């Protein structure tokens, strides 16, 4: 339905603005003329015209722009324009600054020479200094008086006083001011000494470095002990000279590249190594502690190690926790005698629980440990045995395991993975051998790494390996021979063999057994030191043959 009511449209007023310039819509300036006027009636009329011009709404854009420019050019006649700022010398400052009163007195005294107020001869500028107190008007007048005295001839004191009184005090530079109580007595104003206490300045002394303390000269022995003195002297000299076999020599500082890594503590690694050497000697078990136990044998210990090793592999714990368990177990049996066979498994479980709590982030619960023992012991009995073991060891668990030394030696071996994996297998195999119970873990780690390299046809034991493992080749051969003896036996651990026969560990247990059976009979007692020259010669021959085959191809 349509409506007949007319629609009322709203009209809009459009204001047209001229936008010839960017200042078209700007507010007009207060002064809208460029006419230069003089003070008087003419200036008043011009200003009134400018006000009238502002009220006109139809001002064009060009006139508005001109009005803005006119505001900057408007000046008043009768005022001197300000000169451009420039560097003002002392001579220029004195020109044209005398007042009318000073001129009259100067003209009235024609017999006296012309007064040069506040002028100083060129090149004779007074010494600069800062005011020592608050600057006052009287101080400025005194300073002007002193300058005038220095610049005029004698007999002109009256004229100087009259001229100085007419000078404005604000024209005197601040750096010429001195306090009022310091009267000038000579040609130059005197400067009073500063009584304030200033910190004493010391020159940097160049001191020479302190001399190193001289080593005491050993006293000569009595006449009867001359041979003993010679023996000690020869032993000291031999320790300082490299071995004839070339085992020792210049080694590379492999810790220098770890200075930026705070976890490697390269700054203190040598002190840490010395401390670990001391700790391993204090935490070693007795070599023949099994003689104190009537019901136990070394075979029982081997069964315990095999059982705990299987549990350790099942939970995939760290190697450090296993070696700490072995140390706690052996130390406890060394300190406590007459442990029955019935309690041997309880000692093993409690020792394993302590080691895991010390090394791992998460340890098995008591219910799991009870199940592992097939309910042979309750949770309360395991807790009591754990407290008893810790009390026997005096809560000393600071045992440096062989893995720390293996990592340090593997660093000198350029972190070769196969050699390190074989060395780990040899270390776990050494924990079953009772003749290696009292061997320091650092020596076991060095022997396992040396033996692994020998199996991989890398028979050299260079200076880096000697330095970082702290053992020479002749010191590790016997320990490696005891490891080889265990590998040739029939009753070795099946769990350990299966663990390292996996692809994860490069099947190193299979490789080691083949290498051992290729040179020695199973179940025999080998002599690795006697066979070592032949083994190395065979390795060199195989290497030369391989190189010759590559050159032929």
| 455, pLDDT greater than 80 | yes
Rounded Cα–Cα distance for residues 191 and 193 (Å) = 6
Q: Determine the pLDDT at residue 12.
A: 53
Beta strand residue intervals within 307-383, DSSP E = none
pLDDT band at 197 (very low <50, low <70, confident <90, very high): low
Q: Determine the pLDDT at residue 207.
A: 47
pLDDT over 90, % of the chain: 51
CA distances from 85 to 74, 88, 294, 361, 439 (A): 21, 9, 112, 80, 93
Listed in sequence order, the residues at least 6 apart from 105 whose beta carbon sits closer than 8 Å to its beta carbon are 159, 162, 163
| 549, pLDDT greater than 70 | yes
pLDDT over 70, % of the chain: 55
Nearest in space to 464 (alpha carbons), one of 393, 530, 397, 414: 414
Distance, C-alpha 367 to centroid of its chain: 47
pLDDT band at 439 (very low <50, low <70, confident <90, very high): very high
| 128, pLDDT greater than 80 | no
Backbone φ, ψ for residue 273 (5° rounding): -65, -40
Q: Determine the pLDDT at residue 248.
A: 52
**Predicted confidence (pLDDT) per residue in 218-273, tens digit:** 454 454 444 554 555 445 544 444 444 445 578 999 999 999 999 889 999 999 99
CA distances from 548 to 236, 457, 460 (A): 46, 17, 21
Check the CA dihedral 450-454-456-461 and report its sign.
positive
Q: Determine the pLDDT at residue 403.
A: 96
Listed in sequence order, the residues at least 6 apart from 286 whose beta carbon sits closer than 8 Å to its beta carbon are 334, 437, 438
Q: Determine the pLDDT at residue 551.
A: 84
Listed in sequence order, the residues at least 6 apart from 93 whose beta carbon sits closer than 8 Å to its beta carbon are 118, 119, 171
Instruction: Assign 3-class secondary structure to 116-152.
Output: CCCCCCCCCCCCCCCCCCCCCHHHHHHHHHHHHHHHC
| 348, pLDDT greater than 70 | yes
Top pLDDT among 338 and 284 is at: 284
Top pLDDT among 452 and 1 is at: 452
Mean pLDDT on 488-513: 94
**Predicted confidence (pLDDT) per residue in 465-496, tens digit:** 999 999 999 999 999 999 999 999 998 899 99
Top pLDDT among 197 and 255 is at: 255
**Predicted confidence (pLDDT) per residue in 403-431, tens digit:** 999 999 999 999 999 999 999 999 999 99
Q: Determine the pLDDT at residue 357.
A: 96
* Average pLDDT of every residue of the chain: 73
Top pLDDT among 75 and 518 is at: 518
pLDDT band at 6 (very low <50, low <70, confident <90, very high): low
Q: Determine the pLDDT at residue 552.
A: 82
């Amino acid at each position: 339905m349509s409506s007949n009511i007319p629609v009322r449209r709203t009209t809009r007023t459009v204001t047209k603005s001229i936008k010839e310039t960017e200042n078209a819509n700007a507010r007009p300036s207060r002064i809208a003329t460029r006419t230069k006027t003089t003070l008087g009636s003419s200036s008043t009329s011009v200003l009134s015209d400018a006000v009238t011009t502002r009220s006109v709404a139809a001002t064009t854009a060009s006139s508005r722009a001109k009005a803005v420019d006119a505001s900057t050019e408007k000046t008043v006649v009768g005022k001197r324009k300000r000169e451009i700022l420039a560097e003002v010398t002392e001579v220029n400052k004195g020109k044209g600054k005398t007042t009318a009163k000073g001129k009259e007195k100067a003209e009235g005294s024609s017999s006296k020479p012309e007064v040069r107020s506040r002028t100083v001869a060129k090149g004779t500028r007074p010494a600069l200094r800062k005011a020592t107190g608050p600057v006052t008007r009287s101080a400025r007048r005194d300073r002007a008086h002193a300058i005038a005295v220095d610049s005029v001839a004698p007999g002109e004191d009256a004229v100087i006083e009259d001229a100085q009184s007419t000078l404005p005090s604000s024209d005197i530079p601040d750096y010429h001011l001195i306090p009022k109580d310091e009267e000038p007595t000579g040609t130059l104003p005197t400067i009073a000494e500063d009584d304030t206490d200033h910190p004493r300045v010391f020159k940097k002394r160049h001191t020479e470095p302190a001399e190193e303390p001289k080593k005491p000269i050993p006293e000569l022995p009595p006449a009867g002990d001359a041979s003993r003195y010679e023996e000690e002297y020869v032993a000291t000299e031999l320790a300082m000279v490299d071995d004839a076999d070339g085992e020792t020599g210049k080694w590379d500082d492999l810790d220098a590249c770890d200075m930026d890594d705070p976890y490697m503590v390269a700054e203190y690694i040598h002190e840490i190594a010395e401390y670990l050497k001391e700790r391993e000697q204090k935490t070693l078990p007795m070599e023949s502690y099994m003689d104190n136990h009537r019901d136990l044998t070394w075979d029982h210990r081997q069964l315990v190690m095999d059982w705990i090793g299987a549990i350790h592999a099942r939970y995939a714990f760290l190697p450090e926790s296993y070696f700490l368990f072995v140390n706690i177990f052996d130390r406890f049996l060394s300190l406590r005698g007459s442990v029955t066979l019935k309690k041997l498994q309880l000692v093993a479980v409690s020792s394993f629980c302590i080691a895991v709590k010390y090394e791992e982030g998460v340890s098995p619960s008591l219910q799991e440990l009870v199940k592992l023992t097939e309910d042979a012991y309750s949770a309360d009995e395991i807790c009591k045995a754990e407290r008893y073991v810790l009390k026997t060891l005096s809560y000393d668990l600071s045992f440096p395991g062989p893995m720390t030394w293996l990592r340090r030696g593997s660093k000198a071996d350029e972190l070769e993975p196969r050699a390190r994996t074989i060395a780990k297998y040899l270390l776990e195999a050494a924990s079953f051998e009772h003749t290696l119970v009292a061997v320091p873990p650092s020596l076991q780690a060095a022997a396992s790494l040396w033996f692994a390299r020998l199996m991989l046809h890398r028979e050299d034991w260079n200076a880096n390996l000697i330095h970082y493992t702290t053992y020479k080749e002749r010191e590790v051969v016997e320990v490696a021979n005891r490891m080889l003896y265990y590998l040739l036996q029939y009753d070795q651990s099946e769990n350990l063999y299966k663990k390292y026969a996996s692809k994860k560990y490069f099947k190193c247990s299979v490789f080691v057994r083949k290498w051992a059976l290729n040179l020695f009979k199973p179940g025999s007692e080998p002599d690795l030191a006697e066979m070592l020259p032949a083994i190395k010669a065979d390795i060199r021959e195989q290497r030369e043959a391989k190189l010759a085959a590559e050159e032929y191809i």
